[in-house]
């Protein structure tokens, strides 16, 4: 976890979680393991105001929960958490869209989600490095999580910056607004995308619609077309749900 990411998460806590609460704020950190002694988010949420749980796919430092299925956290009931956070994780997740759907399920309506993900930077395998996320990816990511945008910030290189900025972090903050705990018509299944992308983990060559795909251009176009149709369906459902909540 690089220093910039820790700073951003501290600012998220100060900006959005500083007001008093009637009870402890339940926080789920997705991909929480501290690797090679790197700093982690637990220290940011050590106050008694927070109940912090670190989730990862393997046991290790700063890990409280290892689900049996990395893409289906049956150990966690629906709408269990007030806040879900994740930093420098999705780029290592071969099927990150499934994780976004699980985040959607376990976050309560009105809860907050904060993701920090790289848009650039060198290959760094833990154990794989599959993706980079450009600013245009924020909208479909928010849709997949059933969230409405609060803030999206893309950290660009700046000669005035005193901190290392090789990752060009994209910070996405949203509020859970969809009443559907797990959409039935996502249209994204394991054979659809994983089969299309399998074998494509080669040096980064093409960028398509915000997601940097390690694949050839025709394949990237096909995947983006599929995701685009899915996002349109999700967006329609989210709008309908928000309208119902406002009536």
pLDDT tens digits for range 151-205: 999 988 665 555 567 888 999 999 999 655 444 444 433 333 333 333 333 223 3
Flag whether pLDDT at 96 surpasses 70.
yes
- Residue 230 in domain: no
Flag whether pLDDT at 146 surpasses 80.
yes
Flag whether pLDDT at 107 surpasses 80.
yes
- Residue 95 in domain: yes
Number of domains observed in the structure of the chain: 1
Q: What is the token pair recorded at 109?
A: 């309506």
Please report, for the domain that includes residue 90, its CATH number.
Answer: 3.40.50.150
Higher pLDDT among residues 5 and 240, named by residue? 5
The H-or-E segment that residue 97 falls in is helix 96-106
* pTM given for the model: 0.72
Mapped onto helix, strand or coil, the DSSP state of residue 180 is: coil
Cα 176 from Cα 166, distance rounded (Å): 30
- Residue 236 in domain: no
- Residue 121 in domain: yes
Cα 8 from Cα 109, distance rounded (Å): 24
* Per-residue pLDDT at 218: 37
- Residue 188 in domain: no
* Per-residue pLDDT at 231: 45
What is the domain range of residue 30? Answer: 3-182
pLDDT tens digits along 22-53: 779 999 999 999 887 778 999 999 999 999 99
- Residue 228 in domain: no
Angle at 108 between CA 107 and CA 111, to 5 degrees: 80
Cα 159 from Cα 161, distance rounded (Å): 6
What mean pLDDT, rounded, does the chain reach?
A: 77
- Residue 246 in domain: no
């Amino acid at each position: 976890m690089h220093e910039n990411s820790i700073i951003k998460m501290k600012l998220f806590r100060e900006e959005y979680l500083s007001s008093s609460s009637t009870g402890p704020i339940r926080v789920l950190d997705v991909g929480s393991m501290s690797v090679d002694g790197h700093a982690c988010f637990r220290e940011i949420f050590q106050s008694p105001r927070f109940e912090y749980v670190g989730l990862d796919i393997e046991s290790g430092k700063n890990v409280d929960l290892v689900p049996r299925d990395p893409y289906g956290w049956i150990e966690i009931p629906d709408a269990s958490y007030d806040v879900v956070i994740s930093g420098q994780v999705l780029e290592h997740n071969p099927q990150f869209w499934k994780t976004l759907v699980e985040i959607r399920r376990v976050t309560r309506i009105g809860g907050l989600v904060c993701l920090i993900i790289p848009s650039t930077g060198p290959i760094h395998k833990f154990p794989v490095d599959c993706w980079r996320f450009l600013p245009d990816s924020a909208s479909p990511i928010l849709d997949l999580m059933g969230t409405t945008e609060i803030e999206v910030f893309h950290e660009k290189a700046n000669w005035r910056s005193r901190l290392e900025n090789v990752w060009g972090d994209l910070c996405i903050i949203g509020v859970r607004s969809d009443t559907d705990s797990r959409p039935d018509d996502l249209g994204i299944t394991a054979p659809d995308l994983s089969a299309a992308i399998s074998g494509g983990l080669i040096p980064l060559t093409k960028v398509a619609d915000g997601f940097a795909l390690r694949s050839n251009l025709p394949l990237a176009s096909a995947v983006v077309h599929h995701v685009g149709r899915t996002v349109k369906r999700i967006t329609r459902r989210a709008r309908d749900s928000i309208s119902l909540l406002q009536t």
